[in-house]
């Protein structure tokens, strides 16, 4: 950790939205993950849960893409459990009173809500599931690498959907706050649409006693897109200049997998 100055610059020749967000959250955490490539010491149960839930939803759409029937609830739960087991970090931090069984029961309720939703039966043709798109978004920036959860060729638009799990329903402010990710994806998806407009949406499934899935349209706001690009350029410049420093806060640090490395960091 102390040899940061002597390490080579990050070899990544692309940007991802999650990397940009991580830098904005805590530059040192970005460094540990993407430059020093430290192994994570722990992982929060909610992160493992989100990824495993995602795996079940991905399986659903992959089967539809292949022309097969939608998988059963049992198949989704099996996929969930396999994804949970195959996580790369062994030590999972559970919140007080929670364990794998409570998370599994939550997954079952959420998959039921997902299967009952219109989102699970999209109109139009599925043309991509977890589709990787890569391309330039601004001069002076490396390519953006995007992993699009679902791409649908509908009658009037190419629909780009990002699937999220959330503790509670998203407000409109939350949608706008999160929209930067999809606005950047809009830039890449626009090249696939054969002239069709690109429609952006979030599919948000709540982690509740009675989960619900709500679709939120994201307006392709040109001003917001330009602002997002300027933010990405500034963040990239800071990364290239190796501005890595801790940004401690209870919100950032409680679930940080690099707390020990951070305490040992001396600049
Ligand atoms: S413990 Fe906090 S300050 Fe340190 S790297 Fe993690 S998030 Fe950043």
pLDDT digits (tens, 9 = 90+) for 179-217: 999 999 998 888 776 778 999 999 999 999 999 999 999
Separation of CA 258 and ligand 1 centre (Å): 7
* Adjacent-strand bridge partners of 217: 201
Cβ–ligand 1 distance for 192 under 6 Å, the answer no
Confidence of residue 110 (pLDDT cuts 50, 70, 90): very high
Separation of CA 64 and ligand 1 centre (Å): 41
pLDDT computed for residue 7 by the predictor: 43
Cβ–ligand 1 distance for 253 under 6 Å, the answer yes
**Closest residue by CA, ligand 1 atom 2:** 253
Cβ–ligand 1 distance for 262 under 6 Å, the answer yes
Cβ–ligand 1 distance for 252 under 6 Å, the answer yes
pLDDT > 90: percent of the chain: 78
Say if residue 17's pLDDT is above 80: yes
Higher pLDDT: 105 or 189? It is 105
Ligand 1 mutation target, pool 252, 255, 257, 266, most atoms within 8 A of CB? 252
Separation of CA 242 and ligand 1 centre (Å): 16
- Reported for 125-130, long-range contacts at CB under 8 A and 24+ positions apart, including other chains, are 125/152, 125/153, 125/154, 126/61, 126/64, 126/65, 126/150, 126/151, 126/152, 126/153, 127/65, 127/151, 127/152, 127/153, 128/65, 129/58, 129/61, 129/62, 129/65, 130/58
Look at residues 262, 93, 166 and name the one whose alpha carbon lies nearest to residue 175. 166
Q: 0.85 cut: is pTM over it?
A: yes
Cβ–ligand 1 distance for 26 under 6 Å, the answer yes
pLDDT computed for residue 193 by the predictor: 67
Which ligand 1 atom is at minimum distance from the Cα of 253?
A: 2
- Of the CA atoms within 13 Å of residue 55, those in its CB half-sphere come to 19
Cβ–ligand 1 distance for 33 under 6 Å, the answer no
Q: What is the mean pLDDT of residues 238-247?
A: 95
Cβ–ligand 1 distance for 31 under 6 Å, the answer no
């Amino acid at each position: 950790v102390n040899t940061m100055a002597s390490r080579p610059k990050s070899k990544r020749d692309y940007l991802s939205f999650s990397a940009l967000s991580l830098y904005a959250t805590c530059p040192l955490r970005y460094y540990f993950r993407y430059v020093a490539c430290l192994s994570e010491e722990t992982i929060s149960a909610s992160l493992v849960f989100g990824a495993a839930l995602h795996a079940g939803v991905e399986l659903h759409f992959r089967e539809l893409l292949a022309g097969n029937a939608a998988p059963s609830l049992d198949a989704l739960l099996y996929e969930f459990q396999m994804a949970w087991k195959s996580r790369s970090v062994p030590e999972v931090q559970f919140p007080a009173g929670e364990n794998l069984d409570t998370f599994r029961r939550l997954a079952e309720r959420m998959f039921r809500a997902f299967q009952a939703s219109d989102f699970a039966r999209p109109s139009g043709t599925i043309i991509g599931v977890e589709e990787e798109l890569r391309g330039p978004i601004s001069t002076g920036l490396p390519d953006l690498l995007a992993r699009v959860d679902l791409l649908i060729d509908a009658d009037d638009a190419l629909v780009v959907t990002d699937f999220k799990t959330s503790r509670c329903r998203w407000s409109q402010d939350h949608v706008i706050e999160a929209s930067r990710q999809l606005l950047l994806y809009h830039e890449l998806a626009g090249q696939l649409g054969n002239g069709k407009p690109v429609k952006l949406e979030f599919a948000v499934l709540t982690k509740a006693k009675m989960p619900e899935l709500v679709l939120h349209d994201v307006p392709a706001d040109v001003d917001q897109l330009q602002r997002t690009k300027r933010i990405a350029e500034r963040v990239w410049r800071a990364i290239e200049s190796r501005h890595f420093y801790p940004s401690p806060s209870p919100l950032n640090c409680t679930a940080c997998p690099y707390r020990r490395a951070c305490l040992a960091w001396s600049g």
